[in-house]
A = this chain, B = another copy of it.
Amino acid sequence: MIKRRGSKPVRIGTVVVGGGAPVVVQSMTNTDTRDVGATVAQIKRLDEQGCEIVRVAVPDMEAARAIPAIKKAINIPLVADVHFDYRLALTAIAGGVDALRLNPGNIQDHQQVRAVVSASKEREIPIRIGVNAGSLPPNLAGQEPSGKPQGVSERMVQAALGHIRLLEDMDFDLIKVSLKAFDVPTTIAAYQRMAELVSYPFHLGITEAGTPRAGSIRSAVGIGTLLHMGLGDTIRVSLTGDPVEEVITAYEILKALNLREHGPVMISCPTCGRTEIDLVGLALAVEKRLEGIDKPIKVAVMGCVVNGPGEAREADVGIAGGKGRGVIFRKGEIVRTVPESELYPALLAEIDKLLAETS
């Protein structure tokens, strides 16, 4: 149902971003990049969870020099996050990174930018221009030509356009763009505006969104709204915590919009004064049981027999609890009735059967 914006595809290692490719999930390590062992271990955990591109900070030369060892030990494309110092970018490129995040306008010397662009072009390494609301360059004084104060989103767009032009002037177009703010409506407005101006693919994110609890909700609202508008080719959820949480949240956002499948989906009712079985306990047990499963099966755990099967018609398999008993249903049709004590094992048996059938 979502009509996605047409964007120019770029290739980051083996992964295509933009041009109608499925929305790509990425994350960033929070280990010390110089600690190759810790960084690789974290990337492997991210990879297992479905992370498709990973970024590492490259704050100094020692971090840049760690890249070949990291790259060699991992199986997903690696992006180097570089600020200000072009030598870090050159070392990262030589070290085998698949893409850069770098704002060329922040490098004072254009010859230095040219050196990075030239190396990127030679190896076909895309550059993400990543403008964040809080670090807008001071030369964007916040005035529109009319003299009216310029909104933050417009200043973000102008800052990004400045960086984009620098690259385009050097005949470089392997560009991705991000425009992140903590403020969700500002972020949305910036991407909407940019979509009118360029065709480069968008990397979406809400910056400094917070801890997993609040930050995942904030990210889901911002990224979800943009994706529903058809904007966004890759997403990174930023959370203060284990980056694995970022990947889990990213997939939940994409699954909510039917943009990606990623393991099981569970449909479960909030329970109410009508519920006559321990539905919350059952739902949590089923959620736990589904954790290891890769297939995109839909399982429903519903509180009442009257509405349960109907409400969860799109589920492959489900249970609906009644008074001391419950029904097993598939695709909205009741297949059998079991006593409450047998609901959980009966559902697990149905799930196993379903998995066997679809394998």
Contact = CB atoms under 8 A, between A and B. Distances in A.
B313 A185 contact: no
A26 to B, nearest CB: 12
Contacts of A214: 252, 255, 265-266, 287
Contact of A30 (B34, B256, B266, B270): B270
Interface string A265-280: 1111111111100011
Contacts of A31: 273
Interface size class of A (residues with CB under 8 A): 35 or more
B217 A267 contact: no
A296 to B, nearest CB: 13
A138 to B, nearest CB: 10
Interface stretch (A56-64, A114-122, A158-166, A345-353): A56-64
A215 interface: yes
Contact of A287 (B182, B211, B274): B211
A270 B225 CA distance: 21
B132 A311 contact: yes
Interface stretch (A11-19, A196-204, A299-307): A299-307
Contact of A217 (B63, B81, B253): B253
A2 B31 CA distance: 38
A30 B272 contact: yes
A239 interface: yes
11 contacts: A1-B186, A28-B272, A59-B273, A59-B274, A183-B258, A208-B312, A213-B248, A213-B287, A221-B253, A225-B228, A246-B270
Given A29-B272, A221-B256, 17 more contacts: A30-B275, A34-B273, A134-B312, A135-B307, A183-B258, A183-B314, A184-B228, A211-B266, A211-B268, A214-B265, A216-B217, A216-B220, A221-B224, A238-B269, A240-B279, A241-B283, A243-B270
Interface of A: 1-2, 28-34, 39, 56-59, 63, 81, 132-135, 182-186, 188-189, 207-211, 213-218, 220-222, 224-225, 227-228, 238-241, 243, 246, 248-249, 252-253, 255-258, 265-275, 279-280, 283-284, 287, 300-302, 307, 310-314
